[in-house]
C-alpha cells in the first residue's frame, strides 16, 4: 500500500497562522463590535430627525448637536422628575419580595391541600429562599453576559458614552463614511450596497422608534392602572419595569407583568384578578393595535425570525443582545430582499416568459 503524504507549503502555513490571528483579534475586539452595533442602531433611530432638520436648512453637524442636546435635556428632565421615586419604589419592592413570595407559597400550599397533594413536596418546590435565589440568579446571568461585554458597570457607562459619540459621528459624516466603505467593493456591488443603506437604516430606525413609543405608552398606562387598582405604593416603579422590559419583544411583556402580579396576589385575590385583567387587556391592545401600527409594519419579517433573534441575542449578549439584535435582523432583511430575493424572482419571471412562447410554438 502506497503511503500518502500531505505537503503543507509555507504559504498555507502562513494563511493558517493569519486566519488564527484574525480570529483571536476579532474575539478580543468583540466588545468594540457590540459598541458599533449599538451606535448603528442609535444612528438609524435618530436619522429621520436629522434629515427633517436638514430640510429646514440647518447644517447637518449642527442638527446632530441640537438633537443630542435636546435628547439629553429630555432624559435629564424625566430622570429628575420621576427618577428618585422610581428607584425608591423598586428598592422597596425588592425589600418586600421575600414577604410577597411567602404569601404566594402559602396560597400554593392551600391549593395543594384542597387537591390532595402532599404538602412537603409543594413546600420544597415553592420554597421562598429557592424562588428568591432563582430569580436573582437568572437576572444576574443576563446582567453578567451584558457586563461581560461591557467590562463591568464603569465599562458599561463608558461603552454607552462611546456608542453615543460614534453614532453622532456616523450621523454627521454619513455620506463620506458610506462612500468610503462601499468603495472597498468592486463595481457594480459598490453602487448596489450604497443603495441599501437608506432603506436598511429606515427599517432599523422605525423598529426602534416603534418599540420605544409602545413601551412608553404602556409604562404610563400600567402606572395609572395599578394606581387606580390600589397598588399606588409601587405603581410608578412597576410601570417603569414593565416599560423597560417591553423593549424586549415577545418575552418582555410577560417579564414586566410578573412583579405586578406578585404584589397583587399578596393584597388579595380580587386585586390579583383585576391586575391580571389589566395586563391581559394591555397585552391584547399591544399585540393587535400598537405593534402592527407602530412596529409590525416597519419590520416586515416573520415573527419566528424575530423570536429567534431575541433568543439568540439574549444567549450571547444578555439583555443588550435582546435589545439590539432584532433591529439588526430587520435591517439585514432589507439587504437579503433587495439583493437576492427580488433579483431571483425577476430572473425566474424572465425565464418563464422566455419559455412560454417556445412552448406555444412547439
Reading the block at residue 220, the C-alpha cell is 404610563
Query: What separation in angstroms does the CA of 257 have from each of 19, 168, 210?
Result: 47, 35, 20
* CB-based contacts of 101, cutoff 8 Å, min separation 6: 128, 131, 132, 262
Query: What separation in angstroms does the CA of 291 have from each of 215, 262, 314?
Result: 10, 26, 21
* CB-based contacts of 261, cutoff 8 Å, min separation 6: 272, 275, 276, 279
What is the CB-side half-sphere exposure of residue 219 using CA atoms within 13 A?
A: 19
Yes or no: say if 213 and 294 are a contact pair by the CB < 8 Å rule: yes
Rounded CA separation 154/304 (Å): 35
Residue indicated by cell numbers 429567534: 308
Rounded CA separation 83/152 (Å): 22
Question: What pTM, to 2 d.p., does this model score?
Answer: 0.73
Yes or no: say if 310 and 301 are a contact pair by the CB < 8 Å rule: no
Per-residue pLDDT of the chain (362 residues; tens, 9 = 90+): 444 555 566 666 777 777 777 776 666 666 778 888 888 888 888 888 888 888 888 888 888 888 889 888 988 888 888 888 888 888 888 788 777 777 777 776 676 677 666 555 445 555 555 555 555 555 545 544 444 444 554 556 677 788 888 888 888 877 778 877 877 778 888 788 888 888 888 888 888 888 888 888 999 999 999 888 888 888 888 999 888 888 887 777 888 888 888 888 878 778 889 989 999 998 888 877 777 777 665 566 677 777 788 888 777 777 777 788 888 888 888 888 888 888 888 888 887 777 766 555 65
* CB-based contacts of 127, cutoff 8 Å, min separation 6: 105
- Helix (H) or strand (E) holding 329, with range, is helix 319-336
Rounded CA separation 199/203 (Å): 6
Phi then psi for residue 323, to 5 deg, are -90, -40
Instruction: Choose among 188, 182, 221: nearest CA to 200.
Output: 182
Looking at residue 266, what DSSP letter applies?
A: T
Alpha-helical (H) ranges within 29-173 are 30-55, 60-115, 119-125, 128-150, 152-172
3-state secondary structure of 231: coil
Chain centroid to CA 298 = 15
Rounded CA separation 161/169 (Å): 12
Amino acid at each position: 500500500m502506497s503511503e500518502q503524504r500531505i505537503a503543507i507549503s509555507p504559504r498555507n502555513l502562513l494563511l493558517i497562522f493569519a486566519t488564527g490571528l484574525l480570529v483571536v483579534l476579532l474575539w478580543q475586539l468583540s466588545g468594540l463590535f457590540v459598541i458599533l452595533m449599538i451606535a448603528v442602531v442609535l444612528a438609524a433611530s435618530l436619522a429621520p430627525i436629522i434629515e427633517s432638520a436638514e430640510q429646514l436648512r440647518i447644517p447637518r453637524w449642527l442638527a446632530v448637536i441640537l438633537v443630542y442636546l435636546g435628547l439629553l435635556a429630555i432624559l435629564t428632565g424625566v430622570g429628575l422628575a420621576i427618577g428618585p421615586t422610581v428607584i425608591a419604589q423598586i428598592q422597596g419592592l425588592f425589600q418586600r419580595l421575600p414577604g410577597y413570595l411567602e404569601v404566594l407559597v402559602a396560597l400554593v400550599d392551600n391549593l395543594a391541600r384542597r387537591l390532595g397533594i402532599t404538602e412537603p413536596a409543594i413546600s420544597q418546590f415553592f420554597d421562598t429562599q429557592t424562588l428568591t435565589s432563582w430569580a436573582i440568579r437568572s437576572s444576574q446571568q443576563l446582567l453578567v453576559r451584558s457586563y461581560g461585554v461591557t467590562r463591568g458597570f464603569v465599562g458599561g457607562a463608558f461603552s454607552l458614552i462611546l456608542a453615543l459619540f460614534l453614532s453622532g459621528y456616523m450621523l454627521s459624516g454619513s455620506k463620506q463614511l458610506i462612500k468610503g466603505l462601499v468603495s472597498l467593493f468592486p463595481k457594480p456591488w459598490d453602487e448596489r450596497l450604497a443603495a441599501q443603506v437608506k432603506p436598511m437604516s429606515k427599517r432599523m430606525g422605525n423598529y426602534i422608534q416603534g418599540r420605544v413609543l409602545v413601551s412608553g405608552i404602556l409604562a404610563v398606562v400600567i402606572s395609572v392602572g395599578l394606581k387606580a387598582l390600589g397598588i399606588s405604593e409601587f405603581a410608578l416603579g412597576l410601570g417603569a419595569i414593565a416599560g423597560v422590559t417591553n423593549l424586549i419583544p415577545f418575552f418582555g411583556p410577560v417579564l414586566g407583568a410578573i412583579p405586578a402580579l406578585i404584589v397583587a396576589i399578596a393584597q388579595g385575590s380580587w386585586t390579583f384578578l383585576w391586575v391580571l385583567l389589566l395586563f391581559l387587556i394591555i397585552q391584547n391592545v399591544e399585540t393587535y393595535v400598537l405593534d402592527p401600527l407602530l412596529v409590525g409594519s416597519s419590520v416586515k419579517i416573520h415573527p419566528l425570525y424575530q423570536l429567534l433573534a431575541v433568543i439568540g441575542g439574549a444567549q450571547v449578549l444578555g439583555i443588550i443582545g435582546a435589545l439590539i439584535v432584532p433591529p439588526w435582523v430587520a435591517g439585514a432583511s432589507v439587504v437579503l430582499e433587495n439583493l437576492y430575493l427580488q433579483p431571483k424572482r425577476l430572473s425566474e419571471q424572465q425565464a418563464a416568459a422566455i419559455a412560454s412562447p417556445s412552448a406555444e410554438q412547439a
